A and B are shown apart, each in its own frame.
Chain A
Amino acid sequence: MSVGSPGGHAAPSPSRDEGATDDVSRLDPLLDNAPCGFVSFTDDGKVRTANSTLLDMLGYERDELVGAHIEKVFTVGARIFYQTHFFPLLRLHGRAEEVFFLLRRKDGDDAAAIVNAVRRERGHEWVTDCVLMHVRERRKFEDALLRAKEMADSARAEADLERARVQEANDLLERQAIELEVGQQQLMEQAEELETQAEELRGMNDALIDRGEELERLRAVAEEANHAKSAFLAVMSHELRTPLNAIGGYVQLIEMGIHGPVTDAQVDALSRISRSQRHLLRLINDVLNLARIESGRVEYNLESVVLRQVADTVLPMIEPQLNARRIRCEVAVPPSFRALADREKVQQILLNLLSNASKFTPAGGRVTVDAFADAEPNATVSLRVSDTGVGIAADRLEHIFEPFVQVDDSHTRRSEGTGLGLAISRDLARGMGGDLRAESVEGKGSAFTLSLPRPLKQ
């Protein structure tokens, strides 16, 4: 917008054409028949004169046009253009040139014309003189030009739109390409990371395999060492037992006086030698048994064993120890209870349990042997040895079945033994498909339960 003040403009004066009038009769014959239309009209639009050429062009008689309004020869569109453009132009500028007008002939047809006009004062009034060139072929050409221009404009608009679309699509593709590149970059980084991790995992795997091989090798070495140990122990036990048996035999011969009379003091000494020899023999037997068990060289002769008979067999063997400490022993094993087991092994276990009970029960205490069976068929039958001894602390209870373990150091001093008894007993129980479990209340006593499978038929 431009905003301004008009200043003091005066109304424009017309072009001077002194002496001219609008008298039609004065129309020069040359002008009347000139090869262009001529018309003159007032500011109000009233036609003052028109030449023959124009009348021919529009199909009017002179008296039909002179005195009429100039708009009579305009199409409606041309009238609007006259009011909005042509008249203001004439009024403000005094002239107009090369203006295109669509005229209306008397017969209703259109006639296009190019108009040059000048507004001037003549005969005491303001008139506009116009010359009109009829345009026919030129109009067709212009129409074609306009249509072509329209098509070109619309094609250009279309092309612009298309270009914008292509540009947009291009931008989108570019963005996607960038995104893809970024994505690819990320994927490559991830792939590299994965490769690194895979490398690490491979390394760890190799290390684990190495470690596994190492462990396997170590295990083989350990197993070999264990076998060697067991073999060594078996051999050594045998080698030790032979001289010990010889010592025992010869002590008995001396005691019997076969090599001459022995004094009371000598009998006493021989008795000590004999006790030590037996103790040593027992220790060696224990070690031998453990070695055998560990090396898997123990054989079990399973049969239906009457538990009461086992108890009756074992009890006399332990009675001297029990009596010596005035420990009462009660046996409550029903004669009908049987187990599918190796009789000798069960005897060995029961003897071990009673021996322990006698060791760890204070003088004047009580040891009980009883038995019970699960109600279910094919379940187990159990033989239990309870005492009123020192008992075992809960944190020690789980360790007592390990080899070379006794309840504590203080007991070890007065309860001699290898510490192998319980370990051997449990191994034997498990070897027969049973188990050996312990429960105890410290200071009140302990109970060891040997469970064994029952024979299928009783």
Chain B
Amino acid sequence: MLFVHGFGCDQNMWRFITPAFENDYRIVLFDYVGSGKSDLSAYDADRYATLAGYADDVLDVVHALDLHDVILVGHSVSSMVGLLAANREPERFARIVMVGPSPRYVNDEGYVGGFERKDIEGLLETMEHNYIGWANFLAPAVMKNADRPELGQELTDSFCSTDPLIARRFAEATFLSDNRADLAALSVPSLIMQCSDDMIAPLAVGDYLQRNLPGSTLRVLKATGHCPHMSHPDETIAIIQEYLANPAPNAGVAVTHA
């Protein structure tokens, strides 16, 4: 299972999920270049200007570890990154699990994404102010909670991208992306995990995806918010396990579970 973090975090976001799959699957985690503990010197602004560059990162990991029958679990924007990677090399992938996916965040004619362009600019402004002066605010120096010593030193490292330019570019690549035209090409079975109240990926987006993704299964979670793997890890694990336990529907047949 290849877990791919979304915008704003790094591979640590999966820490509540991966233990449940460790016994049955090989677990692979990584940080995109520009995020987490990646080598920032490898960052190429042109490569990461669009999601295709992040799909390159996914395929680089797949090739480097020579992975086959990959179950890709992607959060948020990485659902679409996984889709792009699977469209490029479908033979490598067995299933795509999408946590809070959206093919387009900005509203369009006849399409509800949930946001207007100015909302994205508001996000960029908020990010700017948060990166000014104390760029490493997202990297708390010490975990002071004595009851979590196991997290200890590991989390003293950066939690998220600490470079404001990289973070801004990732935000733009994410929230200004439009992958609606790529959906129909997916030949790998997919699971759409839709939270019941997610302002980033509204219910309408989940419906849109389920209609347009061949071989997709839509599950609407009781969990609210955009990060069920962190806010409701048990439900998230159960749904993924259930999905993986059942045979995947053929591509082109969409199944909705109640």
Contacts and interface: CB of A to CB of B under 8 A. Distances in A.
A93 B159 contact: yes
Interface stretch (B26-34, B182-190, B211-219): B26-34
A85 B160 contact: yes
A84 B227 CA distance: 8
A1 B57 contact: yes
Given A9-B150, A88-B9, A142 B132 contact: yes
Given A2-B36, A11-B233, A99-B137, A88 B13 contact: yes
A89 B233 CA distance: 16
A76 B137 contact: no
Nearest to B76: A84
Interface stretch (B83-91, B113-121, B243-251): B113-121
Contacts of B22: 8
Interface in B221-252: 224-227, 230-231, 233
A15 interface: yes
Contacts, number: 165
A89 B138 contact: yes
Interface of A: 1-6, 8-13, 15-16, 43-45, 71, 75-81, 83-85, 87-89, 91-102, 112, 139, 142, 145-146, 149
A2 B11 contact: yes
Interface string B90-121: 00000000000000000000000001100111
B123 to A, nearest CB: 4
B151 interface: yes
Nearest to B139: A93
B49 interface: no
B31 A77 contact: no
Contacts of A9: 15-16, 19, 150-151
Contact of A81 (B19, B127, B155): B127
12 contacts: A2-B11, A6-B19, A75-B126, A77-B123, A83-B199, A87-B225, A87-B226, A93-B140, A94-B143, A139-B129, A142-B129, A146-B129
Contacts of A81: 123, 126-127, 130
B225 A3 contact: no
A71 B132 contact: no
Nearest to B105: A80
A145 B200 CA distance: 30
A97 B137 contact: yes
B61 interface: yes
B231 A87 contact: yes
Interface residues of B, number: 69
B14 interface: yes
A135 to B, nearest CB: 9
A347 to B, nearest CB: 115
Contacts of A96: 137
B41 interface: no
A91 B227 contact: yes
A368 to B, nearest CB: 112
Given A1-B32, A95-B140, A8 B19 contact: yes
A271 to B, nearest CB: 132
A258 to B, nearest CB: 142
A3 B30 contact: yes
A95 B227 CA distance: 17
Nearest to A149: B132
Given A83-B227, A88-B9, 17 more contacts: A1-B42, A5-B18, A9-B16, A12-B148, A13-B147, A44-B224, A78-B123, A83-B200, A83-B225, A88-B8, A88-B227, A91-B230, A92-B13, A92-B230, A96-B137, A102-B125, A146-B132
Contacts of B138: 85, 89
CB-based closest 8 A-B pairs: A77-B122, A84-B8, A76-B119, A100-B129, A77-B123, A83-B226, A2-B37, A3-B30
Contact of A93 (B61, B126, B127, B143): B143
B6 interface: yes
Contacts of B123: 76-78, 80-81
B230 A98 contact: no
B27 A5 contact: yes
Contacts of B230: 87-88, 91-92
A95 B143 CA distance: 9
B28 A3 contact: yes
A145 B126 contact: no
Contacts of A89: 138, 159-160
Contacts of B18: 5-6
A88 to B, nearest CB: 5
